[in-house]
Each structure stands twice: as C-alpha cells, then as structure tokens.
A = this chain, B = another copy of it.
Amino acid sequence: MPKNPRVAIVGATGAVGQTILSILEERHFSLDSLRLFASARSAGNAVVFRGETLVVEDLETADIQNIDIALFSAGASVSKVFAPRFAEAGAVVIDNTSAFRNEPDIPLVVPEVNREAMFAHQGIIANPNCSTIQMLVALKPLHDAAGLKRIIVSTYQAVSGAGSRARQEMLDSTRAALDGHAFDYQKFVHPIAFNALPHIDVFLEGGWTKEEMKMVWETRKIMDLPEVGVTATCVRIPVASGHSESVYAEFDRPLSVTEAHSLWRKAPGIEVVDDPAENRYPMVTQAVGTDPVYVGRTRVDLSNPHALNFWCVSDNLRKGAALNAVQIAEELLKGPAH
C-alpha cells in the first residue's frame, strides 16, 4: 500500500459518500488522487474537493484499474457486484454496507475495538452498522476491564441512516404535520413525523428486524465474543441525524460509575458527558458534526450489581459510517502493530 494512496469513493453523491468527502478534507487525508463513482443517474455531476472540481464517474462503465483504496457506500446490492471487481483490480475495498459483514473471512472492523483484524483482509474490509459501532466503542474499555456478558439495548435512531431522501422526507412530513396537511410518504411505511417506529430494515425469524440482528451478529464478531448475549430493539425517531442508545450491560464483576468514567476517559474515541447535577448528558444536538461517541447517564443497575446502564450518542453518518471507514483507511496505511 503506497503512503499516498489512490482513493475512490463509490456512492459519492449519497449521504455517507458526501460525509466521507468532508471527513477526508477535515482530516487532511494524504492521497495521491481521488475518484468518485455513482450510478448513471448521478454520473457527470461535479463535486468540489480541496478546491478542485471532480466529475462523478458512472460505476457501470468506468475503468476501475489503479485504485488502492475504495470506500463503498452505495447499498449492499452495488457492493455485492462491484466490491469484488474493485478488489480483483487491486484495490482494498472498505465497504460500508451489510453485504459482507457476516462473511467469516472478511474482517469487520471498528479501529478502537479490533484494529488488528483488518490486516487479515483479502481485498475487502467491512464497516459495521452504525448502531453497533457506537455501542462497541463505549463497551470495549468496560469489557477489557470487567468481561462483558450480556447487552440489552434500545435504540433511538435518526432518519439520516435511511439516506438523504428519508431525511428530507422526515423534515417535509414534519412541516406538513405542523401545518395540518396530509403527506404522501415514499421512503417510510408509516408516518415518521412526531412518531416512533419500532421497525428498521426487514423482519426476520422470531419477530426480530435485521437491524436488531445486525447488533447481535456484528457485536459477537467484532468483540470476538461468539457467546455474548445481545438483545436489541431498534427504533426510528424523528431526529434528522445522530443515534442515541439506552444500553444495559452485564459484566463478570461489578463496575462503579467512577471506574466506568475512568476507563472511558482513557479510551480512544469516547467523551464522557455525565453530570446530572448540571443537566449534562449526551444529546444528538451536540453530537452531530463531531467525531466522538458520547456516554453519560451512567448508573449501576438496581437489580444486578454486575450491570451498568448508560446512554450513548454519536453522529451516525460520521462514527457510525463515514468516519469509521476513513479511520480504517488511515490505520490500514499505518500497518499492523509490531
């Protein structure tokens, strides 16, 4: 891998693709060249990056040789077809979709949690689901200290996770509701304005949604804890961007709030916002546009002294998607730990 790689973004015009572009700029990601790909519908669009105008290429027809790192975020069906082609042509693909996350021989990586796993890649590295990433960044230092046994999590997820058009539809339908107008939803099965929808992704066996099962499967793989108990209830709420999570976690031994705070403060990517007396706790309105996973409302459980409850917030388009992908690229360039 060259020090200044030739980078591609596939799905460059989507919500995550746009966020990847701004994160590459913010972090002064050192690259030799940047190419942007999207579907024919968006091909030909001009995008400004570091003051330079780039033209979006048609993924179907473009030449995909001479790419070192390809950041994919154009949906699972696109990744299934094109990620192997890019890998075949010599790129390392960092894939933000669910296409390869459960493949045993494809690494699924959160750099703060299982950085070294990425170096076993065979051309594709998978980026986990947004709701899993922020929860595991928060749980990893607690697990290292006290041994994670079980998680029960309820999520409060923003609509931007469903894409730019879903986000716009939530905003437009909210205005319609305020004005007392009817609204014809295209992206939501039920109204999202002033509602809470316990339904993200498709329903699977046992009444679980795929979003909920992602939190089970991905947690076990990333933490390398094949037996850890995970119960998730995933809920979409009328928030534009930023996911919140109510997390209950059981450990092998008791953890005090003070010890949890201390572990979190020493860990990468986490900011503790936990001062009830001052009404300070994590909120999406403060988290959006920033990098950390915010934790607070930490309480020792009343029924199980080995369990902690906390509230965890992060920008789902950044740490939950684009930032985590760019961090994987950065760590890939640094190489494995010695």
Identify the A interface with B (CB < 8 A).
150, 152, 154, 156, 171, 174-175, 178, 189-191, 194-199, 203, 206-208, 216, 229-231, 233, 235, 237-240, 244, 246, 248, 257, 274, 276-277, 279, 281-285, 296-304, 307, 309, 311
CB distance from A157 to the nearest CB of B (A): 10
**Residues of chain B with a CB closer than 8 A to A239's CB:** 194-196, 237-238
Q: How far is the CA of A277 from the CA of B244 in the complex (A)?
A: 27
Known contacts A191-B285, A194-B285; 16 additional CB pairs below 8 A are: A154-B233, A156-B237, A174-B178, A190-B283, A190-B285, A196-B239, A198-B244, A198-B282, A198-B296, A206-B299, A206-B302, A207-B299, A216-B302, A229-B303, A231-B248, A238-B239
Beyond A154-B154, A156-B156, A233-B297, is A283–B197 a contact (Cβ under 8 Å)?
yes
**Residues of chain B with a CB closer than 8 A to A281's CB:** 198-199
**A-B contact list, 20 entries, CB within 8 Å:** A150-B303, A152-B152, A152-B248, A171-B178, A175-B178, A190-B279, A190-B283, A190-B285, A194-B284, A194-B285, A198-B246, A198-B281, A199-B281, A203-B277, A206-B302, A207-B276, A208-B302, A229-B304, A235-B246, A237-B239
CB distance from A303 to the nearest CB of B (A): 3
CB distance from A76 to the nearest CB of B (A): 21
Q: How far is the CA of A199 from the CA of B281 in the complex (A)?
A: 9
Beyond A198-B246, A237-B196, is A207–B175 a contact (Cβ under 8 Å)?
no
- Selected from B244, B257, B304, the residue in CB contact (under 8 A) with A207 is B257
Closest partner residue, chain B, to A237 (CB atom): B237
**Residues of chain B with a CB closer than 8 A to A307's CB:** 231
**Residues of chain B with a CB closer than 8 A to A199's CB:** 279, 281
**Residue contact A196 to B303, C-beta cutoff 8 Å:** no
**Residue contact A235 to B156, C-beta cutoff 8 Å:** yes
Beyond A216-B302, A276-B203, is A195–B233 a contact (Cβ under 8 Å)?
no
**Residues of chain B with a CB closer than 8 A to A189's CB:** 279
Closest partner residue, chain B, to A296 (CB atom): B198
**Residue contact A230 to B156, C-beta cutoff 8 Å:** no
CB distance from A82 to the nearest CB of B (A): 31
Q: How far is the CA of A312 from the CA of B278 in the complex (A)?
A: 32
Beyond A178-B174, A279-B190, is A298–B207 a contact (Cβ under 8 Å)?
yes
Q: How far is the CA of A174 from the CA of B191 in the complex (A)?
A: 16
Q: How far is the CA of A257 from the CA of B171 in the complex (A)?
A: 36
Q: How far is the CA of A99 from the CA of B129 in the complex (A)?
A: 45
Q: How far is the CA of A230 from the CA of B309 in the complex (A)?
A: 12
Q: How far is the CA of A5 from the CA of B139 in the complex (A)?
A: 58
Q: How far is the CA of A207 from the CA of B191 in the complex (A)?
A: 34
Q: How far is the CA of A297 from the CA of B230 in the complex (A)?
A: 17
Q: How far is the CA of A302 from the CA of B213 in the complex (A)?
A: 10
CB distance from A311 to the nearest CB of B (A): 5
Q: How far is the CA of A216 from the CA of B206 in the complex (A)?
A: 29
4 cross-chain pairs, A with B, having the tightest CB-CB distances, nearest first: A229-B303, A154-B154, A203-B276, A154-B246
